[in-house]
């Protein structure tokens, strides 16, 4: 295969923008990027990122294109555009979005038929981790393609795991998020019960962090979001969480597994969205579990 000399990045949202910046600063390659909004492209200019006006422009400039998009729907649309471009330079597409497993494998097959290599590499952890380049990246790809992509993925993540062939990265990411949302739901329950039983919430979470219930979710989503009631709109929102959990539940149904805990978390995310909190950081489900009435 030809050397990867130039890179593309499509989708510069909450996670995509800092990922693109790290790729540009650390890879020592020219990076061409596009987004529906101009502001992220303007900010990334200081990192040497070349702004492109369209997906086609990126496809014609980059050997390897990274995607960070809202859902599988957008991933499919962008890949169709890349495949339809007769002048494309791109030979590899890497989807860092969270997409349905079946669709991922379908898109990969279409790309392969057109001579375009495809990998799924969804990411986990927070926006802060994206900024620091310490994401956890779960990759579905052939062993050869993974080896070629690994130095580039290392620019954005501190933990890069080869999960198996195409689609397996998405499986692992969806299950990661499913477990995270279930833990978040349990934390909301514990905080509500503790508060109403006379225990200070900060003390409760601190004590839990010293015991067997300690977790990344407790220290980050519990302590940094639920405790201070900090649910901004520029973080991983409730509606994005609902989308990811729906993909995971689809996978559970296909596997014949009764994912009861995930269904509870889904109900709480749905309730938060119906109350107008769809854009707020997903730990806002605390407001569903504990509306803080005076008891």
Residue 154's domain is classified under what CATH number? Answer: 3.40.50.720
* Structural domain includes residue 1: no
Consecutive H or E run containing 93: strand 92-95
Q: What is the pLDDT of residue 18?
A: 98
* Structural domain includes residue 295: no
Going from the C-alpha of 198 to that of each of 127, 174, 188, 229, 293, the distances in angstroms are 34, 36, 16, 19, 14
Q: What is the pLDDT of residue 1?
A: 64
Tokens representing residue 83 in the block: 């495949």
* Structural domain includes residue 146: yes
Check whether residue 113 and residue 204 sit in a common domain: no
* Structural domain includes residue 258: yes
How many separate domains does the chain show?
2
Q: What CATH number is attached to the domain comprising 240?
A: 1.10.1040.10
Burial class (CB in 10 A: 0-12, 13-18, 19+), 57: middle
* Structural domain includes residue 294: no
Check whether residue 113 and residue 224 sit in a common domain: no
Give tens-digit pLDDT for 105-164.
999 999 999 999 999 999 999 899 999 999 999 999 999 999 999 999 999 999 999 999
Q: What is the pLDDT averaged over residues 5-17?
A: 97
* Structural domain includes residue 175: yes
* Structural domain includes residue 211: yes
Going from the C-alpha of 21 to that of each of 49, 130, 143, 233, the distances in angstroms are 8, 10, 27, 22
Give 142's contacts (C-beta < 8 A, 6+ positions apart). 165, 166
Final residue before a domain boundary, out of 139, 165, 191: 165
Question: What range defines the domain where residue 233 resides?
Answer: 171-289
């Amino acid at each position: 295969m030809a050397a990867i000399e130039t890179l593309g990045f499509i989708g510069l949202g909450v996670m995509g923008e800092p990922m693109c910046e790290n790729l540009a600063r650390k890879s020592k390659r020219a990076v061409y990027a596009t987004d529906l909004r101009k502001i992220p492209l303007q900010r990334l200019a200081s990192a040497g990122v070349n702004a492109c006006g369209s997906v086609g422009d990126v496809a014609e400039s980059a050997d390897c294109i990274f995607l960070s998009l809202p859902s599988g729907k957008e991933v499919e649309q962008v890949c169709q555009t890349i495949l339809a471009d007769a002048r494309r330079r791109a030979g590899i597409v890497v989807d860092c979005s969270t997409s349905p497993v079946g669709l991922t494998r379908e898109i990969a097959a279409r790309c392969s038929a057109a001579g375009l290599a495809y990998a799924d590499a969804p990411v986990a952890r927070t926006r802060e981790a994206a900024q620091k380049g310490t994401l956890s990246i779960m990759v579905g790809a052939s062993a050869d393609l993974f080896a070629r992509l690994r130095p580039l993925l290392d620019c954005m993540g501190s933990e890069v795991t080869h999960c198996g062939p195409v689609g397996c990265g998405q499986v692992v990411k969806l299950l990661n998020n499913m477990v995270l949302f279930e833990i978040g739901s349990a934390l909301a329950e514990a905080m509500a019960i503790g508060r109403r039983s006379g225990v200070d919430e900060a003390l409760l979470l601190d004590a839990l962090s010293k015991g067997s219930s300690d977790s990344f979710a407790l220290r980050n989503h519990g302590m940094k979001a639920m405790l201070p009631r900090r649910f901004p709109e520029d973080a991983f929102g409730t509606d994005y969480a609902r989308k990811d959990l729906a993909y995971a539940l689809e996978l559970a149904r296909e596997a014949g597994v009764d994912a009861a805990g995930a269904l509870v978390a889904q109900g709480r995310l749905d309730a938060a969205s119906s109350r107008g909190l769809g854009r707020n950081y997903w730990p806002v489900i605390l407001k569903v579990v504990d509306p803080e009435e005076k008891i």
